Amino acid sequence: MQGAKAYSRNAPGCVDWACRRSGRRGLLAGLGLLARDAIAATDAEAREAMVTTIAQYTSAAASALGRDKIDPRVLDVMRRVPRHVFVPASLRSNAYDDRPLPIGFGQTISQPFIVALMTDMLRTAPDQVILEIGTGSGYQAAVLSGLVRTVHSIEILAALADAARSRLREHGFGNVLVHLGNGYFGVPSAAPFDGIIATAAAGSIPLPLLQQLRPGGRMVIPIGNPFATQHLMLVEKAMDGVVRTRRTLPVRFVPFVDAG
Ligand code: SAH
């Protein structure tokens, strides 16, 4: 339906122009272009609607979060990242729904609201180096890619790591490095990190990750039993190394595999 709306709005003029200029072949080529433009316009509209939904949810969750707005820089990046290339082709029409979607191997791409929230909680800056645990589709890494200098993302399943690595390269997210391995142990060779984000739930905060967090850095991680309520935890490491944790929203994530 949305496709039809965007098509008819973009079509006037262009079809006539393509037709008059180069006859039937031109018309067909023109229609092909129009269809592509129309899909791109529809994706942009869908992303805008997704961002509006995120903003609405954020104010509803304000008391739990202690804030009522997501950083506009995060929302701007989410307006640009083509989430539809990170979901299976069969789910393309649901790519911008505010819900998690299956990406194979029993894993999911997180709900856009959660991606926005967790990214916001990291309070990123453009010169930072961030570690993500659980690359999955690569979408969260792509969002971070537009906000920081370098993103290291580690995934335990080789098939997902390989697919995400090529997808991110193909779509120009050149500052994301995908590692294959157990994220419980972080990526010591690239540490310390200004921020760490885990998109799988652990029973407790993995010690290696705490050690790889730079003083002054933040970690956002779902903590809890996979079969009970988990909470999104904000972990702050002060300049003197003292660690403070704060429990925020109840969430549901896939469990950390092979955690330690
Ligand atoms: N951030 C992803 C969603 C991740 S779903 C996205 O944007 O699409 C959680 C991912 O964590 C899954 O791909 C799962 O395979 C991975 N995972 C689970 N345990 C892990 C571990 N110990 N180390 C690294 N990755 C892990």
Rounded to a whole number, what is the distance in angstroms from the first to the last CA of the chain?
48
Task: Determine if ligand 1 sits within 6 Å of the CB of residue 257.
Answer: yes
Residue 4 included in any domain: no
Q: How far apart are CA 32 and CA 200, in angstroms?
A: 41
Q: Is the pLDDT of residue 132 over 90?
A: yes
What pTM value is reported for the model?
A: 0.86
Residue 237 included in any domain: yes
Residue 41 included in any domain: no
Taking alpha carbons only, the member of 108, 66, 90 closest to residue 247 is 66
Task: Determine if ligand 1 sits within 6 Å of the CB of residue 110.
Answer: yes
Q: Is the pLDDT of residue 78 over 90?
A: yes
209-220 confidence digits (pLDDT tens)? 999 999 999 999
Residue 119 included in any domain: yes
Q: What is the pLDDT of residue 62?
A: 76
Nearest protein CA to atom 2 of ligand 1, as residue = 136
- 244: CA distance to ligand 1 center in Å? 25
Preceding peptide of 192 cis, ω within 30°? yes
CATH of the domain at 129: 3.40.50.150
- Is 204 tagged catalytic? no
3-state secondary structure of 74: helix
- Pairing state between β 107-109 and 101-104: antiparallel
Query: What is the signed CA dihedral for 78, 126, 63, 81, rounded to 10 degrees?
Result: 10
Residue 46 included in any domain: no
Residue 256 included in any domain: no
- 135: CA distance to ligand 1 center in Å? 5
Q: Which residues pair with 122 in a beta bridge?
A: none
Q: Is the pLDDT of residue 8 over 70?
A: no
Which stretch of 55-64, 103-112, 160-169, 217-226 has the lowest confidence by average pLDDT? 55-64
Domain hosting residue 161, numbered range: 52-251
Residue 44 included in any domain: no
Write down the catalytic residue from 8, 59, 90, 110: 110
Q: How many domains does the chain have?
A: 1
Q: How far apart are CA 182 and CA 85, in angstroms?
A: 25
Q: Is the pLDDT of residue 22 over 70?
A: no
Q: What is the pLDDT of residue 19?
A: 28
Taking alpha carbons only, the member of 221, 186, 198 closest to residue 136 is 198
Residue 29 included in any domain: no
Nearest protein CA to atom 17 of ligand 1, as residue = 134
